[in-house]
Amino acid sequence: MEERERQFVLKRFSEHYRKADIRVPSVEQREFGIGGFDRKIEARHMEFGSDAALQNYLIRDTPLYISHSVAYYKFPKATPMENKGWMGGDLIFDLDVHAGLFLSREEQEKVRADALKLADDFLASDFGIKKQYMRMVFSGNRGYHIHVRDPAYRMLGGDARREISDYISGKGLNYRSFFPLSENKWRPEGPKESDWGYRGKLCRAVIKAINEDPSRIHRRLKKMEEAGLLKRGIKDGNWGSTSIKDIVDRIEPVAKDLPVQCIDVDTGVTIDTKRLIRVPNTLHGSTGLVAKELRSLDDFEPYRDATAFGAEPVKIVALQEIPSQEFLNSTMEKMEKGEGREAPLSYAMYLVLKGAARLS
Amino acid sequence: MEFSFSSKYPFTSEAKQKVEGSSLELNDEIMERAVQRVVAALQGKVWKPVYLHPSDDLIDLGSYAAARMMLAHLRNRFLTNKFAVAEAKRAYKLMCEDSEENLGKLGRELGITPQEFEGKLALPVYQYASFSPRSVDYRLIFRNVKGGFVEVTRHEVIRLMEEAVKGRMESYKPLQNPPQIIRDYSKKLMVLVPKEAVLKMSFREGDNPPCIEKLLEGAKEHQNLNHQARLVLAIYLLARNVPVEKVQAIFSNLPDYEEKKTKYQLDHMIRRGYSMASCATLLSYGLCVADCRIGTPLRWKGKVEPWKKGNGSSS
């Protein structure tokens, strides 16, 4: 990106921060890190005494990225890390999908559905975390962050967080172990609908599949009588109630869908107690979209609801082929490589920051 | 008569208060018992004191306190961990036979408070995840989890409490200016400890500085480490008294490993007494991966000598 474009981007970012409302819970106990055009974290060990001080910094010095620690520290700017005085940390979950230049409608749905599943079926239902402790945030790029500030989970170490992360992502899960082996392939005993944990989840998911899409398991389940037999059996753990002998094999696709698949476990976001995570309601330096805190994921569309710069027309030139895309409630036409065009500022900013276009 | 709650569980705050509130002073009887206690731990034995007189209760409690003071003075991770394991096993045995009242009291002290949820004995998830042993049976994913609780058995609760005891004893504050009697008996203790036991070291993550961990990881993954990396790794391991056979076994993971050549080179290093490269040298080799500020990898976690300000660069 040329210097002229960098200045353009940062000027617009600064203008945005003048009217933004940035609030970080316990801001004075957080470490902050900033990033620029080369790296998402270029400097860390920063601290701000108040939300106002943070916002002033964003207006005045305007980093491309800003993140805060999941941890609370006595001395946030102290180095090395051991001197900060760790006082616990939020539990953070990062969900995203690998996408091209834009998230497709299907990808948006997939990651949104997984975020809802994580919040409802795992955090609330399994871990007993109340909604008041959950903060749902669009990541500003390809997914969502869920910040959990339940005091009960605050002091968990890395290993304990890994257990929770593994549970949610289904790492090492083998649903067949829920069915005790017998000499026959006929396995009458299995999990019950009222069971806790994955056992109960499996039962409920199978019953749901029978109700909504029985052929996913076996076409014989389209018959009311057969479906009823199996559903009644599952309530008591009697999986042998059906005439489908290989029922345990047949439910594999349903079992595979039980964990949260979009959770990013490889990068250790949940496990790392000293991790930096994007400050909610700040701009994402790779998209120019707001990492927006959301009351509800229903009807949220990132390319409509997380834009920050409006529709003021700006001339851009495509550096690659850009597919047609819904943005700001309008259809942005496909652009060929080298093609110049006027585009709404939010869309232009997105393309420039993605390296797909330059300012004309 | 039997030992009091405090003597059975000498790591509790009640025990600490009892010691602080008593006129107990460190004397030879207590120190001798403390040394025996640590040596028993090293031998993998569970400490079984004999209760003959009411004063034994306080003396036994004192021996625990004295043992901890010696370990804090010696700052020997190997001894500390062995002691933690032995004391946790001892607590486990006592817990298995103890009353529900005492178990509840101890659980509250350790932060493990089982309760009934939907008619089942259960632990809050955050407690379970914090103290569950690292074995497949205890993995959260295989457990019955609901509403913030994990279903457990009484025996599992005790097992988690054992882990909590171990964790509590693995950490300690370094002892500043220990009494002379602690210094004297620490020396005696080290004489009694078999030399090879002290030299033993595990290769758990965190036992070595990040640069060495990375090289070990590389060797494990059969990466073709460059010459400097091999040299640094070999000298480090030998300096940490890892047997040459074990060093050779680690190098056998490398894709171009030649047994005779490696043995010759390791023997050569030992004969010539190669010294460990400084962190600055490692930085120049491109092998430094973190800002540890210890001067040389051998000072990791104060294993050789504490880092002094201005003494060397990062690893």
Residue B252 lies in a domain: yes
pLDDT digits over A265-295, tens only? Answer: 656 788 889 899 999 999 999 999 999 999 9
Taking CA atoms, what residue in A is nearest to B138?
Answer: A163
Answer yes or no: is pLDDT of B134 > 70: no
Same domain for B53 and B175, yes or no, is yes
Residue B238 lies in a domain: yes
The mean pLDDT of B12-22, rounded to a whole number, is 89
Residue of A128, A161, A166 with shortest CB distance to B148: A128
Highest mean pLDDT among B54-63, B116-125, B165-174, B238-247: B116-125
- Give the 3-state secondary structure of chain B: CCCCHHHHCCCCHHHHHHHHHCCCCCCHHHHHHHHHHHHHHHCCCCCCCCCCCHHHHHHHHHHHHHHHHHHHHHCCHHHHHHHHHHHHHHHHHHHHHCCHHHHHHHHHHHCCCCEEECCEEEEEHHHHHHHCCCCHHHCHHHCCEECCEEECCHHHHHHHHHHHHHHHHHCCCCCCCCCHHHHHHHHHHHHHCCHHHHHCCCCCCCCCCHHHHHHHHHHHCCCCCCHHHHHHHHHHHHHCCCCHHHHHHHHCCCCCCCHHHHHHHHHHHHHHCCCCCCHHHHHHHCCCCCCCCCCCHHHHHHCCCCCCCCCCCCC
Chain A residues with CB-CB distance to B144 below 8 A: 195-197, 199
Chain A residues with CB-CB distance to B132 below 8 A: 163
CB contact under 8 A, B129 and A163: yes
Give the range of the structural domain holding residue B58, as residue numbers without chain letter.
5-94+171-198
Helix axes B154-170, B100-110, angle to 10 degrees: 40
Banded pLDDT at A307 (limits 50, 70, 90): very high
Same domain for B137 and B220, yes or no, is no
Taking CA atoms, what residue in B is nearest to A129?
Answer: B148
- Mean pLDDT over all residues of chain A? 92
Same domain for B26 and B39, yes or no, is yes
Chain A closest-CA separation from residue B134 CA (Å): 9
Mutate to test the interface with A, among B132, B138, B142 (most CBs of A within 10 A): B142
Write down the pLDDT at residue A182.
60
Size of interface A-B (CB pairs under 8 A): 67
Same domain for B120 and B72, yes or no, is no
Share above pLDDT 70 across residues of chain A, in percent, rounded to a whole number = 97
Show which of B168, B190, B217 is a domain's final residue: B168
Chain A residues with CB-CB distance to B151 below 8 A: 196
Residue B111 lies in a domain: yes
Chain A closest-CA separation from residue B291 CA (Å): 8
Residue of A80, A167, A200 with shortest CB distance to B140: A167
Banded pLDDT at B255 (limits 50, 70, 90): low
Same domain for B80 and B176, yes or no, is yes
Same domain for B262 and B113, yes or no, is no
Taking CA atoms, what residue in B is nearest to A91?
Answer: B126
Taking CA atoms, what residue in A is nearest to B143?
Answer: A197
Interface residue ranges in chain B relative to chain A, Cβ cutoff 8 Å: 124-126, 129-130, 132, 134, 139-149, 151, 291-293
Show which of B150, B168, B186 is a domain's final residue: B168
**B25 CB-side CA count, 13 A:** 5
CB-neighbour burial class of residue B38 (10 A; exposed 0-12, middle 13-18, buried 19+): buried
Residue B271 lies in a domain: yes
Same domain for B134 and B106, yes or no, is yes
Q: Is A94 marked active-site?
A: yes
CB contact under 8 A, A127 and B148: yes
Same domain for B191 and B209, yes or no, is no
Q: Which of A38, A159, A266, A298 is catalytic?
A: A266
CA angle in degrees (0–180, nearest 5) for A99-A68-A52: 120
CB contact under 8 A, A153 and B126: yes
A218's tokens: 């076996």
Chain B residues with CB-CB distance to A200 below 8 A: 146
Q: Is A96 marked active-site?
A: yes
Chain B residues with CB-CB distance to A196 below 8 A: 144-146, 151
Q: How many domains does chain B have?
A: 3
Residue B108 lies in a domain: yes
Asked if omega into B306 is within 30° of 0 (cis), the reply is no
Q: Which of A94, A120, A246, A305 is catalytic?
A: A94
Domains in chain A, ordered, with CATH?
Answer: 20-170+262-302 (3.90.920.10), 175-256 (no CATH), 313-359 (3.40.5)
Write down the pLDDT at residue B310.
33
Residue B309 lies in a domain: no
Same domain for B10 and B131, yes or no, is no
CB contact under 8 A, A163 and B132: yes
Same domain for B175 and B90, yes or no, is yes
Q: Where are the beta strands (DSSP E) in B115-214?
A: 115-117, 120-124, 145-146, 149-151
- Mean pLDDT over all residues of chain B? 83
pLDDT digits over B46-92, tens only? Answer: 888 777 677 778 888 999 999 999 999 988 766 887 888 889 999 99
CB contact under 8 A, B142 and A177: yes
Write down the pLDDT at residue B315.
31
CB contact under 8 A, B149 and A80: no
User: Which 228-287 residues of chain A touch chain B by CB within 8 A?
Assistant: none
Same domain for B32 and B137, yes or no, is no
Chain A closest-CA separation from residue B306 CA (Å): 16
CB contact under 8 A, A171 and B141: yes
Write down the pLDDT at residue A2.
86
Residue B258 lies in a domain: yes
Residue B315 lies in a domain: no
Chain A closest-CA separation from residue B246 CA (Å): 29
Banded pLDDT at B192 (limits 50, 70, 90): confident
Same domain for B62 and B153, yes or no, is no
User: What Cα–Cα distance (Å) separates residue A15 from each residue in A18, A43, A140, A283, B9?
Assistant: 5, 23, 18, 12, 62
CB contact under 8 A, A172 and B139: yes
Write down the pLDDT at residue B308.
33
CB contact under 8 A, A195 and B130: no
CB contact under 8 A, B148 and A156: no
Q: Is A257 marked active-site?
A: no
Is residue A187 within 8 A of residue A240, CB to CB? The reply is: yes
